[in-house]
Amino acid sequence: MAAATVSDAMYVLMPGRKHYVPKIDVRPLKGKGVAVSAQEDMPMGHFILAEAPIFTLPIVRGQLIILGALMQCEPEYQTKFYEFFNCWDETEEITKELGIFTTNAIPCGGDITSGSLPDKEGIFFFCSRINHSCKPNVHVQWVDWVHQIELRATRDIAYKDELCRSYIDLLQSRRRRQQQLMEKYWFKCRCEACSLTGAELDASDNRRRTVRDTLDRHFGGKCKDAHEGLREIQHALDCIDKEGLPMYEAVLYFFGFHLCAASGDCDSAIQWAIKAREAYVRMSGYALDELLERLANDPLCYPDANTMPKKTLTGPDSPLWRRGLEEASQDT
């Protein structure tokens, strides 16, 4: 396939940002088809680009729906669509159009400010060409009111590094991740996390499971023991740090805020809200900035404030938590 150039479509794909040209390159890469790489150093949190979908489809879709959506695209985009990679090509299990769509679709729709989940998937000229890693260096965020995705760096990226996003839930063991990638995208992942062996692999699998369990235990304000809950959250944050998965940080900090505000400890709640805000802005831009700033200024305006027994807790990463964690790891 011919390499795409950045100048190809920026005018059309980035309404309102006509003069913005992201510093990326799309070229063939051995063993991966085409790949996207950085054309400048990009520090963690760096905004790389915003991109509107060529078209989107509901999550439940079929051949007729996809043909209908394609027919509504400009002829130029219909041609571009057929240039995308189709990992189902050799299987002949599904039609060409569905194969291309399924290989390249990125979840979108849903609104981070209201907490609604993605309800569709879209094809994107650049972002759909980004390959997968289980320790990705970029994060894609759908921004509903502008109908675009935004791409940001999740760690420091050096000039010429390949950009990699995640196609799947990363909080699973390597065995499950590889199984899913093979079933859905027909490739064996050889990323840094998948290349671990022995004790290092076990430790990585355990850390990812710990984070998943912590998220499950805290969603919807389910955790009722504030002290134990904060300890779990801090441990999960350490796991995330070791796994290099900062996109899960903000929600964990927010759970810390919830426990402190619910327990009436405003000082600690403020510290957790500030960290949640910093993490959201780094990964997802300014969507929740105002809300989190309001909570950091006045935790008592949070609807769940003072709904648990009153307690004095601690902020994130306080020496107290560090000591508690060290003692816990000596105990086990």
Ligand X SMILES: C[S@@+](CC[C@H](N)C(=O)[O-])C[C@H]1O[C@@H](n2cnc3c(N)ncnc32)[C@H](O)[C@@H]1O
The residues that touch ligand X, with contacts defined as CB under 6 A, are 31-34, 85, 87, 103-104, 128-129, 131-133, 185-187, 189, 191
Q: How far is the CB of 37 from ligand X (least distance, A)?
A: 12
Q: How far is the CB of 102 from ligand X (least distance, A)?
A: 9
Please identify the residue of the shown chain whose CB is closest to the bound ligand X: 33
Contacts of 247 (CB under 8 A, 6+ apart): 139, 154, 283
Q: Which is nearer to ligand X, 32 or 61 (CB)?
A: 32
Q: Which is nearer to ligand X, 131 or 154 (CB)?
A: 131
Q: Which is nearer to ligand X, 89 or 228 (CB)?
A: 89
Q: How far apart are CA 42 and CA 160, in angstroms?
A: 10
78-85 contacts, C-beta under 8 A, 24 or more apart: 80/9, 80/54, 80/125, 81/54, 81/123, 83/1, 83/2, 84/123, 84/128, 84/129, 85/1, 85/33, 85/34
Q: How far is the CB of 136 from ligand X (least distance, A)?
A: 10
Q: Which is nearer to ligand X, 49 or 308 (CB)?
A: 49
Q: How far is the CB of 170 from ligand X (least distance, A)?
A: 13
Q: Which is nearer to ligand X, 129 or 155 (CB)?
A: 129
Q: Which is nearer to ligand X, 129 or 152 (CB)?
A: 129
Q: How far is the CB of 187 from ligand X (least distance, A)?
A: 4
Q: How far is the CB of 241 from ligand X (least distance, A)?
A: 23
Packed helices 266-284 and 289-297: angle between N→C axes, nearest 10 degrees: 170
Q: How far apart are CA 204 and CA 116, in angstroms?
A: 30
Contacts of 321 (CB under 8 A, 6+ apart): 230, 231, 234, 314
Characterize the bridge pairing of strands 164-165 and 131-132: parallel
